[in-house]
């Protein structure tokens, strides 16, 4: 029902640009709202939402959003193939940014705005948004939030989950509004500023231009978007503490320091490797920093075709694709908190080999990390690598070359969008067959909901009482 209301948002742009798609969005909204209302009144119950229902609602809810969110693409004729439309919608709501669109000039402006809206809604989480605005969801709130919130642990900022959701979305809206204003000051039009701000804060990457941000030569616009991509890739709980006057919260976070250090080191390496490809230092620095931050935060915007860069620079970007953003951000990937914990665990294991009787406690932010968390992180890493390997083999079996097969999977599993090969920054996913798009759509959902949320539904023991 909420999606039915959200589907009306592009109508003002449809009327403004006179692209003739008003009926398509009204019809999509009616279908979504009618199905939602039918489900609501058919299955109303006083029974509370339990642990199992929480995971099921998040996974099936996200899947349903991708289905009904694809209706505008179908009804408008912008993406007439149902599988392609579902892929585009899933890519939007999971903030992946992978597109099947070949001819950007043939797509109505209101449809592009809907693509950006799917990003913005999916960025912080449809379920969290629902908890913030629908007061009748007074049961099962923590189960839903635990299942949807990104990161290895859930950081409850306030005693009530509804208060937490409202505050997080308030910060999210504030940053989006600020970016819109700065992009307008940089010379970008209102429509383009809103679409790109939605995609930036959600770390999505859908653009209104085929050349992505490369279509805007303004260095001010590029640096502005680099800054906001960085903000989106940082834990929103840190942003909230900073807005409350505790600016030192950033530096106290070990994950933030690791994330920032990784970005600075990667940007410096890419800058040096690209030195001979650019005439000016500023342009090189801007493109290098923009691309590194875009890939590391899993946004996926592009200002240059990094496949023309040094092969080592491309390798650095691939490593960043696996790392992703911070826990508690809108970014995808494995999350830097997990990567940092695995590095620390590796060091502890080496220390224990050298000093069998020595005592070394694994800590994060000067606090001991329970063994249960360490095991869950290692388990997540094993599942992540296993799914990546299996999906890559499946894509290769469909006839894709080795680079495209692997890059498309990591780009979708980490919710990045552009990869390498046929799905690089200058390419698209339109040439991949229906089976391949289905596999990649599943990878997007697994990556966005952190794998375990989805996989537990397929274990019979999970449903046994």
Q: Would you list the DSSP string of 157-219?
A: -SSSHHHHHHHHHHHHHHHHHHHHHHHHHTT--HHHHHHHHHHHHTT----SSTTGGGG---H
Q: What angle do CA 434, 438, 441 make, to 5 degrees?
A: 135
Q: Return the closest-CA partner of residue 95 out of 323, 294, 388, 287.
A: 294
Q: Are 290 and 303 in contact (CB under 8 A)?
A: yes
The radius of gyration of the chain's CA atoms, rounded to the nearest angstrom, is 22
359 Cβ contact list (under 8 Å, min separation 6): none
State how far the alpha carbon of 219 is from the alpha carbons of 186, 265, 285, 314, in Å.
Answer: 9, 22, 10, 23
What residues are paired with 367 via a beta bridge? 364
* DSSP 8-state secondary structure symbol assigned to residue 264: H
The two tokens of residue 226 are: 């680099």
How many other CB atoms are there within 10 angstroms of residue 355's CB atom? 10
DSSP three-state, residue 135:
coil
pLDDT of residue 141: 47
The two tokens of residue 189 are: 């039009």
How many other CB atoms are there within 10 angstroms of residue 219's CB atom? 16
pLDDT of residue 155: 53
pLDDT of residue 192: 96
What residues are paired with 363 via a beta bridge? 368
Q: Are 270 and 311 in contact (CB under 8 A)?
A: no
Please list the pLDDT of the chain residue by residue as tens digits (465 residues): 999 999 999 999 999 999 999 999 999 999 999 999 998 888 876 666 777 777 788 888 899 999 999 999 999 999 999 999 999 999 999 999 999 999 999 999 999 999 999 999 998 776 565 544 443 333 344 444 555 555 555 455 566 667 777 788 888 999 999 999 999 999 999 999 999 999 999 999 999 999 999 999 999 999 999 999 999 999 888 888 898 888 998 999 999 999 999 999 999 999 999 998 988 899 999 999 999 999 999 999 999 999 999 999 999 999 999 999 998 888 889 999 899 999 999 998 898 888 888 778 888 888 888 888 888 889 889 999 999 999 999 999 999 999 999 999 999 999 999 999 999 998 899 999 999 999 999 999 999 888 888 888 888 888 876
How many CA atoms lie less than 13 Å away from 149 in the CB half-sphere? Answer: 23
What residues are paired with 364 via a beta bridge? 367
The two tokens of residue 397 are: 């079996």
DSSP string, 420-441: SGGGSTT--STTS-HHHHHHHH
How far apart CA 36 and CA 244 sit, in angstroms, is 38
């Amino acid at each position: 029902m909420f999606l039915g209301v959200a589907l009306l948002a592009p109508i003002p742009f449809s009327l403004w640009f006179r692209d003739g798609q008003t009926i398509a969005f009204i019809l999509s909204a009616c279908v979504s709202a009618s199905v939602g209302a039918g489900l609501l009144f058919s299955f109303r119950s006083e029974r509370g939402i339990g642990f199992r229902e929480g995971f099921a609602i998040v996974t099936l809810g996200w899947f349903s959003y991708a289905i009904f969110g694809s209706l505008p693409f179908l009804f408008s004729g912008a993406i007439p193939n149902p599988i392609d439309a579902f892929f585009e919608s899933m890519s939007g709501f999971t903030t992946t940014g992978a597109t099947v669109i070949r001819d950007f000039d043939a797509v109505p402006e209101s449809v592009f705005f809907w693509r950006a809206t799917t990003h913005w809604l999916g960025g912080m989480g449809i379920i969290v948004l629902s908890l913030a605005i629908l007061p009748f969801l007074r049961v099962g709130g923590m189960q839903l939030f635990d299942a949807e919130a990104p990161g290895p642990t859930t950081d409850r900022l306030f005693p009530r989950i509804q208060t937490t959701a409202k505050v997080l979305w308030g910060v999210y809206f504030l940053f989006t509004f600020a970016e819109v204003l700065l992009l307008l000051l940089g010379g970008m039009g209102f429509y383009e500023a809103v679409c790109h701000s939605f995609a930036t804060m959600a770390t999505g990457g859908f653009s209104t231009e085929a050349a992505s941000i490369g279509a805007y030569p303004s260095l001010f616009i590029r640096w502005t978007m680099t800054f906001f991509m960085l903000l989106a890739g940082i834990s929103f709980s840190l942003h909230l503490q900073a807005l409350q006057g505790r600016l030192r919260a950033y530096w106290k976070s070990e994950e933030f320091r690791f994330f920032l250090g990784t970005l600075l080191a990667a940007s410096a390496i890419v800058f040096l490797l690209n030195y001979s490809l650019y005439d000016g230092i500023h342009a090189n620095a801007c493109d290098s920093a923009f691309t590194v931050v875009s890939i590391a935060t899993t946004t996926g915007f592009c200002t240059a075709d990094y496949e023309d860069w040094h092969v080592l620079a491309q390798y650095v970007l691939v490593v960043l694709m696996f790392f992703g953003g911070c826990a508690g951000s809108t970014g995808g990937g494995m999350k830097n908190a997990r990567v940092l914990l695995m590095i620390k665990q590796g060091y502890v294991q080496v220390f224990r080999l050298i000093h069998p009787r020595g005592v070394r406690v694994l800590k994060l932010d000067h606090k001991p990390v329970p063994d249960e968390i360490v095991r869950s992180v290692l388990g997540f890493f094993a599942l992540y690598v296993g799914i990546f390997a299996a999906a890559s083999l499946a894509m290769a079996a469909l006839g894709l070359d080795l680079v495209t097969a692997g890059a498309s999977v990591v780009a979708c599993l980490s919710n990045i969008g552009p990869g390498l090969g046929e799905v690089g920054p200058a390419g698209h996913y339109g040439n991949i067959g229906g089976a391949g798009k289905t596999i990649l759509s599943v990878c997007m959902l697994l990556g966005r909901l952190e794998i375990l949320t989805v996989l537990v539904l397929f274990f019979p023991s999970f449903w046994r009482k």
